[in-house]
Structure 1
Amino acid sequence: MRPFREKEWLFSLLLSSLLLWLLCLGNSPLRDWDEGTVAQVAREIWRASFGSLHWLYPTLSGEPYHNKPPLMHLLIAWSYSLGGVNELTTRLPAAVLTALGVPLLYLVGGLLFNDSLSALFAALVYLTTLPVVRHGRLAMLDGTSITFFLLLLFCLLKSRQQKPWALGVGFCLGLITLTKGMLVLLLGGIAGLFILVSSQFAVFSNIYLWTGILLGIAPAIAWYVAQWQYYGSNFLQINLQAQTFDRIAQAVEGNTGAPWYYLLELLKYAFPWLLFWPEGFYLAYKKRYSLWGSLVLVGTTVYFVAISLITTKLPWYVMPLYPFLALAIGEKFSQIWQQKAFNSRVWAIFIVIMAIAGLGGIVYFTLAQEEPVLIVMSIVLTISMAVVAWLIYKCDRIFIPVLFSGMYLVLLLLMSSQSWIWELNEAFPVKPVAELIRNHVSPGAKIYTSFAYSRPSLNFYCDCQVIPATMPILQQMWANNDYLLLDKSRLKNLNLPMSKVLGSSEDFSLIAP
């Protein structure tokens, strides 16, 4: 492609990704678990004075927060200072940074492939992958970490022609560390192994690389040292042991699964792109001596094996795989487009299944009287997948832009609805209950509830600590003159003389001491 065309594509990808990631970003409440926790930590940083060093030693409900370094929390606190505390400002920093990963992947692909078409297709696959968009819009750390990793790869590849670009590698390692902690060991290891496998040994003799690593990692090391000096061994036990290395051999907080857990996650959410990935991965194997082939093989196998062996299983751990999948599929699509010939009726069968699923969505959302936008989304999915299936059956390469367009429209409609965070339906809505608490309880108070587990989003919205407790503990807390939040059945079973019901919401009653 001509240079000005590359700039046009880059700008178009930037606008398309920002639209998709920012559309109706604040239209849904914060989700448990990460969003509520991240928002609470960020708000406590925002409330504290700069001289208090709260930005350096963050807290959660007044207690030291040792889970992750505070880069994202600081960005959200800054967002609060500009636009107030709400869902939009909470999600904005992570959404913008994750959206930047789309044009970044295009730039990385441009340095990996012999043609820009493969880079464009790879970026479009990444743009229209449901988990990338959905998790990237949440106030979480994973999308931002991937963007920093893509920037690292760009600097690494760019340094082959201009050595000073290697400085950026070290700074990106530092940013990953300050965002997601020890994930840097896995992503940094992938980058290092890619250098070895692709025989780019000259990179290791580049003085800019080691200077960048020294300067980039220094702030992260300084943060860890500061925490250790301030909190002592308690910080090391929680951050490095309980929240990092224990996840390898133990199921932290009960989050576990079979070794094929992440394969099922891909099967559930990575369609339709997973359909084209096997041939893309095989193509990478055939071209394993090329830059893109070696990166796809190293990144996919090392990362997938690593997260599969880790005992703790969480759905968003799979996200760093998607750039590698996108690169493999992008090259496969480029090959199809240039050769103008392919024969894979299996693709058409699975695309037809997606069209049928769209029909099922039309019926379901119509009968359930859900949001009209979901009905429109299902109609678009059905029509676009039917057209794609017909084009694949006719061996017409035009199925590629039709598929991209259809998936982008489907995701736009989903993100404009209030159903893109479907986990909110797993438990009671927190905002009405939080409003009940705020109306009667002072901020920072402790409230004991009969609900089965803690909900960080509820803590954030009510600005109190809502602590789950068993029946005997609830009885004891009542004797200690604490507030109780009880469902109807527990309220009947507990003997609470002289109790006063301050109000009720979502089947819960707030009981005054």
Structure 2
Amino acid sequence: MISQKTTKASDRRIIFFLLLAALLLFCIDLNGIPLRDWDEGTVAQVAREMSQGDTWTAWLHPQLWGQPYLNKPPLMHSLIALAYRTWGIHTWTARLPGAVLTAISVPWLYALGREVFFTRAPALVSALVYLTLLPVVRHGRLAMLDGAIVCFFIATLWMLRRATSSQVSAKGVRPYWCFGVGVGFALMCLTKGILGVLLLAIALVFLAWDSPKHLFSPHLWLGLLLGGIPLTVWYLLQWQYYGQQFINTAVMTQSLERIWNTVERHDGPPWYYLLELLKYSWPWLIFWPTGFWLTWRSRHHTWAKLVLVWTIGYLLAISIMGTKLPWYIFPLYPAVAFTCGVALAAALNMHRHWTGRGLSLRKLPKIWGILLALFSAVGAIGIVYASPWGGEPSVALGLTFLAVMLTTGLASFLVLHQQLQFVPTLLVGLYLALMCLMVSDHWVWELGEDFPVLPVAELIRQNTPPSQIIYTSHGYERPSLSFYSDRRVTARSIEELQSQWQNTQPAYLLVQDIAPYQNIKDHLTELGIVNGWHLILNQPQG
């Protein structure tokens, strides 16, 4: 029989391996491509203004282009600002804190799995599935808040389990773990506001189902109260400083109103997030139905209760919200990974007898092999697309599709021949495919929807005074352009631009057509042109 000491040593080695693999995948080549609009550019600029502030108030009351920034609490912005002060203001320093926290969430998910599963296999496979989920890697590397809050949520669940598990304490809850739950709740709310309340509610519903006696433990609620003190202090300080403006903007418009109203025209049908899962969670989504069936069948077990509450509770909550954005689904992916991990662990137990504690399948479903073969065909099409004769010639992208084609093709063959090696084949192959994608210029494919921002930003930065506002005829404001040029570039209609050109001295315009401004004033100085964008000035260049 394996001793508990040996088991803990093995877990430590696995956690170290998972952390190393995650840090490599999440942090490689973060500087390779520019920040995207909207959130990345905005978060990076808020962090810059914090890092350049002369007093502590710049950190407590952050600003965006000199105006109060009340969209989200500034925890992640503060971490990015610290990275700026340590290593300078760069694309990679803007992305580094979020990437590191998302990487940390991988071994923490394994640790949570070890708390709820009876055996190591489903915990390890689930963590590896989570590590190789495309949307997790993509969004986790961005200068956004979602990877951080998922890390804090997984940590909160782990500490809640440590506090209430009968295996840890037969006498009741452990107070110091309860305090950790409170700290985790505060960190979630200081990252994304009211979303932390929803995630805590999911954790408490799970506790009420799995161990209802611990839900009313005074230690738990005292821990939440003490751990939440920093959160309470921060909100009180904001209310004292901004008054009703903070309530109207931060609490209502940017938080509560998103539940029942559509904010900034970000809406969608109730099945919006199901479509998001269908678009980006392949090929792991192939195993999700089997995993969910096994989870439902095992709903009397702790791990199944957690997965069901997490999946159904969170998916239902975000689906009925009025405002819908693609990254709202991020906290669901660890539950998806757990569900897929259950199916894959059951496959690995295929030749073992049912013990009452494990999961096993009698045989590998043929549909798995068929769907993997279809996904391999998609990879083959992608190779053509990334070839010199395709629409997007790229060596790194071609290697990505090649890895996908070979991995899923071989896995399909193994599944159809009832060979269990398909699991490590998928895990290793998809990790390598994602590594190839992350060193390419295509992992943030939204950048291809608009003009390249860096050359235009350099044109502005080289030819305009610091702090100068630039007006553009572009259809909407691009925060990334403002960040890289270190000037506020604000969008205006043609009529507003013509009025600005005539009545403001000096006026710097970024336009694609200079004809409407040539006859309005005597002087039109063209400062430069890049990618069809003209930077013009309504006075002689001095």
Q: TM-score, normalised by structure 2?
A: 0.92
* Aligned equivalent of 1:316: 327
* Aligned equivalent of 1:343: 364
Given that 2:207 and 2:214 are in contact with CA atoms closer than 8 Å, whether structure 1 keeps it comes out as no
Given that 1:121 and 1:330 are in contact with CA atoms closer than 8 Å, whether structure 2 keeps it comes out as yes
Q: Which has the higher helix share?
A: 1
Deviates more, 1:248-257 or 1:34-43: 248-257
Equivalent residue runs for 1:319-398 within 5 Å:
319-340=330-351, 341-366=362-387, 367-368=389-390, 370-398=393-421
SS state of the match for residue 60, structure 2? coil
Residue 124 of structure 1 and its aligned partner are, at CA, apart by 0.6
Residue 454 of structure 1 and its aligned partner are, at CA, apart by 0.5
The answer as to 2:463 corresponding to 1:440 is yes
* Aligned equivalent of 1:187: 199
- In structure 2, relative to structure 1, the CA distance for the partners of 1:483 and 1:342 (3 Å cut) is farther
Indicate which of 35, 40, 47 corresponds to 2:40.
35
Given that 1:247 and 1:310 are in contact with CA atoms closer than 8 Å, whether structure 2 keeps it comes out as yes
Indicate which of 266, 288, 293 corresponds to 1:255.
266
Equivalent residue runs for 1:434-473 within 5 Å:
434-473=457-496
Equivalent residue runs for 1:163-312 within 5 Å:
163=174, 164-207=176-219, 209-312=220-323
Aligned sequence identity (%): 44
The AA in structure 1 aligned to 2:186 is: G
Residue 56 of structure 1 and its aligned partner are, at CA, apart by 0.3
* Aligned equivalent of 1:512: 537
Indicate which of 440, 464, 484 corresponds to 1:417.
440
Distance in 2 between residues matched to 1:177 and 1:484, nearest whole Å: 40
Indicate which of 80, 88, 99 corresponds to 1:84.
88
Q: Deviations over 1:90-149 (max 9, x none)?
A: 111110001000000000000100001110011011000000011000010001000000
The AA in structure 1 aligned to 2:241 is: Y
Residue 203 of structure 1 and its aligned partner are, at CA, apart by 4.7
**Structure 2 gaps, min length 5:** 352-361
* Aligned equivalent of 2:356: none
Q: Deviations over 1:225-276 (max 9, x none)?
A: 1111111111111111111112122221111111111111100100111111
Distance in 2 between residues matched to 1:41 and 1:443, nearest whole Å: 17
Residue 482 of structure 1 and its aligned partner are, at CA, apart by 4.5
**Structure 1 gaps, min length 5:** none
Residue 199 of structure 1 and its aligned partner are, at CA, apart by 2.6
* Aligned equivalent of 2:359: none
Indicate which of 484, 496, 511 corresponds to 2:520.
496
Greater relative contact order (Cα 8 A, min sep 6): structure 1 or 2? 1
Given that 1:365 and 1:371 are in contact with CA atoms closer than 8 Å, whether structure 2 keeps it comes out as yes
Deviates more, 1:396-405 or 1:324-333: 324-333
Q: Deviations over 1:391-438 (max 9, x none)?
A: 111111111110111111110110011111111111111111111111
Indicate which of 73, 77, 83 corresponds to 2:77.
73
SS state of the match for residue 109, structure 1? helix
Given that 1:488 and 1:508 are in contact with CA atoms closer than 8 Å, whether structure 2 keeps it comes out as yes
SS state of the match for residue 254, structure 1? coil
Q: Deviations over 1:418-468 (max 9, x none)?
A: 111111111111111111111121222211110000011111111111111
The AA in structure 2 aligned to 1:499 is: L
The answer as to 2:104 corresponding to 1:100 is yes
Distance in 2 between residues matched to 1:130 and 1:174, nearest whole Å: 28
Q: TM-score, normalised by structure 1?
A: 0.97
* Aligned equivalent of 1:16: 21
Residue 483 of structure 1 and its aligned partner are, at CA, apart by 2.8
Distance in 2 between residues matched to 1:496 and 1:396, nearest whole Å: 75
Residue 220 of structure 1 and its aligned partner are, at CA, apart by 1.1
SS state of the match for residue 448, structure 1? strand
Deviates more, 1:94-103 or 1:495-504: 495-504
Distance in 2 between residues matched to 1:205 and 1:24, nearest whole Å: 47
The answer as to 2:431 corresponding to 1:408 is yes
Residue 343 of structure 1 and its aligned partner are, at CA, apart by 3.3
Given that 2:267 and 2:322 are in contact with CA atoms closer than 8 Å, whether structure 1 keeps it comes out as yes
Residue 11 of structure 1 and its aligned partner are, at CA, apart by 1.0
RMSD: 1.3
Distance in 1 between residues matched to 2:446 and 2:429, nearest whole Å: 25
Distance in 2 between residues matched to 1:487 and 1:401, nearest whole Å: 53
Residue 298 of structure 1 and its aligned partner are, at CA, apart by 0.6
Distance in 1 between residues matched to 2:364 and 2:335, nearest whole Å: 24
SS state of the match for residue 335, structure 2? helix
Residue 206 of structure 1 and its aligned partner are, at CA, apart by 4.8
Deviates more, 1:323-332 or 1:116-125: 323-332
Given that 1:485 and 1:508 are in contact with CA atoms closer than 8 Å, whether structure 2 keeps it comes out as no
Deviates more, 1:324-333 or 1:399-408: 324-333
* Aligned equivalent of 1:45: 50
